[in-house]
Amino acid sequence: QEAKPLDQFTRATQALTHIFLKTEVKPVVGIILGSGLGNFASQVENADVIPYDEIPGWPLSTVEGHSGKLVLGTIAGVPVAVMQGRVHAYEGYEMNEVVFPMRVLGMLGCKKLIVTNAAGGINTSYGEGALVNITDHINNTGRNAAIGPNDKRFAVQSGFGQRFFDMSNAYSPRLNALAKAEAARQGIALHEGVYMAVLGPSYETPAEIRAFRTLGADLVGMSTVHEVIIARHMGIEVLGFSLVTNMAAGVMPEANINHEEVMQIGKRLEPQFASLVKALVPQVAAA
Ligand code: CYT
């Protein structure tokens, strides 16, 4: 007789058990680092580093520049779980695999999420290297991460874990206000924008970018929306940032887009990004 496949919640508890055996940190803020922003993990003090390939059920990235480690420790005294690297749907992963780490972050005790990505700039008021606070998203991937049987056990606070759930304030206005104030305090130019997610892996065509602009998108990328949907399903409050690594296709005539450039811009903007996020961690935790 064949064993019944384990449900997502049970698989996530297996990952949780492994993590609990490797660290005593009980994170309250989860941080997901996008392409080129992985160095931020070095900000974590007293770090316990768990390679993704040790964690049962954790999906492994196939893309260069997405090294895979879960780093647990403290930032400004706040216990955090930092994901250095994530998988994308374009790698061929199913939705439940893409958001498995997000489920585990919630179960570890993270009530807040800081999610970051490298994105193409659609809004012409941005330039390469612009730092953008995400105010909302448009999920144009054709998939929703919450598909499949609904499991209420994933809720991290009462009233959440519902089959149908609100996305009106998916990107927390009060956390965005903290980010805006902190950026001003540090003299960092922080833009705002709506993030459009596509499946990828091809970058967009100029016609697609014109269409997306008409639809209200300021940024385009291939991640984040699935994690945010699952965070909201669980009742986790979200703060999101995009780093504009390149202007999207057709925005700068003559230019074309390559992954190396995306990674380089990430490295260049890292110090600003790190200083902003580091200062925000205790504020977000206390909010
Ligand atoms: N750039 C990026 N599209 C872009 O132009 N990083 C993702 C998607």
Which residue's CA lies nearest to atom 3 of ligand 1? 120
Check residues 71 and 128 and name the one with the higher pLDDT. Answer: 71
Average pLDDT of the residues in 49-71: 85
- The CATH number assigned to the domain with range 8-286 reads 3.40.50.1580
Average pLDDT of the residues in 188-209: 96
d(CA 241, CA 269): 13
d(CA 35, CA 112): 21
* CB of residue 118 inside a 6 A radius of ligand 1: yes
Q: Supply the pLDDT for residue 91.
A: 93
Whether the pLDDT of residue 95 is over 70: the answer is yes
Average pLDDT of the residues in 64-93: 90
Distances (CA, A) of 274 to 33, 85, 204: 11, 16, 29
Distances (CA, A) of 204 to 25, 73, 201: 40, 38, 9
259 among known catalytic residues: yes
How much of the chain, in percent, has pLDDT values that exceed 90? 83
d(CA 283, CA 133): 16
- The interface predicted TM-score of the complex, written ipTM, equals 0.94
158 among known catalytic residues: no
Tell me the per-residue pLDDT of 14-30, one tens digit each, with 9 for 90 and over: 999 999 999 999 999 99
Tell me the per-residue pLDDT of 235-278, one tens digit each, with 9 for 90 and over: 999 999 999 989 998 888 776 777 777 677 777 888 899 999 99
Q: How far does the centroid of ligand 1 lie from the alpha carbon of residue 118, in Å?
A: 7
Q: Supply the pLDDT for residue 5.
A: 82
- Is the torsion defined by CA of 23, 94, 160, 281 positive or negative? positive
Q: How far does the centroid of ligand 1 lie from the alpha carbon of residue 123, in Å?
A: 13
Q: Supply the pLDDT for residue 62.
A: 78
Q: Break the chain into its structural domains and give their ranges.
A: 8-286
Check residues 260 and 51 and name the one with the higher pLDDT. Answer: 51
Length of the chain: 287
Average pLDDT of the residues in 192-204: 97
Average pLDDT of the residues in 159-166: 97
Query: Within 13 Å of residue 64, how many CA atoms lie on the same side as its CB?
Result: 5
Whether the pLDDT of residue 141 is over 70: the answer is yes
Average pLDDT of the residues in 203-231: 97
Query: Within 13 Å of residue 11, how many CA atoms lie on the same side as its CB?
Result: 17
Average pLDDT of the residues in 213-221: 98
Question: Which residue of 257, 260, 261 sits with most ligand 1 atoms within 8 Å of its CB, as the best mutation to test the pocket?
Answer: 257
12, 15, 35, 226: which is the annotated catalytic residue?
35
Question: Which residue of 131, 199, 204, 260 sits with most ligand 1 atoms within 8 Å of its CB, as the best mutation to test the pocket?
Answer: 204
